[in-house]
Amino acid sequence: MLVWPRLITSLICVLVCAVLVGPLSAEGCLSAGSCLPAEGRLSAEGRLSAEGFVSHAVGIARDASSLRVSYIEHHQGLPSGAQRIDYYRADLTPIAYKLLAYPGKPQHPSIEQENFALGTKSRVSPSTDDIKMWRSEAGEVTSTSLPASDGLIVDAGFDAFIKANWGSLLDKPARRVEFVAAGSARTLKMRLNVEESDESGLVKFSITPSSWLVRMFLPSLSFFYDQQRSLQRYEGYSNFVPPDSDSQQVVVEFTYYETAGPLRRPPAAWLPAQSAVPALSGK
């Protein structure tokens, strides 16, 4: 049984699938950023929406060499504070979904996820003392529990960790962190490095495994944030690319939107031409 490659695959999903739209406050503001003025909020039909809006982030992943669209991410920050992420092939065939909430520490989210491509389901339930996780694959259910230490980043809590520790990360641009994927009993030690903004104004966060063995499967991954702490671009490995791709190296660029309510899928105007289909509103 190839444990390490499977663990690496899970970790890649964790880092590439970092949550992009922060939980919403009672006023409809992003807790990790600032509110837009009422006149800047657009509904799904293009009308102005003063309250009850939903924040969206759409990531278009392209093959790093051919620039062909590999897959699409749609992140929604709901007024309840929950978050939903859906992943699609370029033709909008569903790949996976993830539901998240943040009942306590930002790096310890509660998670429900299903990967249709891999046939797996996972759930994470954090508490003050420990983090309980379950994973279902091929009819077999496994569970594990880990101490809820401050130094442990759970799955998509990576993005929340970056936003919550923005100032200290810039002050101390190199540090060691530990990650665990949803449903996994193993943690991985990683090196996190930060480079100050360049002429583009973006701040680069690079993640590199501490173990040379892990680096054989997973080289450095790079995340580029703007000064408002929103992820703008990801460069690195992805396990969501289709089988006929030239490589598993991708560049994912993100665009942010707001609508009057949640959507079942992103609107055509947000997608590349070959992926555009009518949007469906829903809860």
Answer whether 190's CB lies under 8 Å from 179's CB: yes
State the pLDDT at residue 145. Answer: 92
Mean pLDDT of 202-214: 88
Report pTM. 0.78
Give the span between the Cα atoms of 206 and 183, in whole angstroms. Answer: 24
Alpha helices in 68-192 (DSSP H): 157-164, 166-171
Other Cβ atoms within 10 Å of 159 Cβ, number: 26
Element (H, E) at 214: helix 212-217
26 vs 214: which has the higher pLDDT: 214
CA-to-CA separations, 194 to 162, 173, 225, 259, in angstroms, rounded: 11, 5, 11, 33
Phi-psi region of 234 (alpha: psi -120 to 50; beta: other; left: phi over 0): beta
Query: Mind listing the pLDDT tens digit for each residue in 229-275?
Result: 999 999 988 877 777 777 788 999 999 999 998 999 999 999 987 65
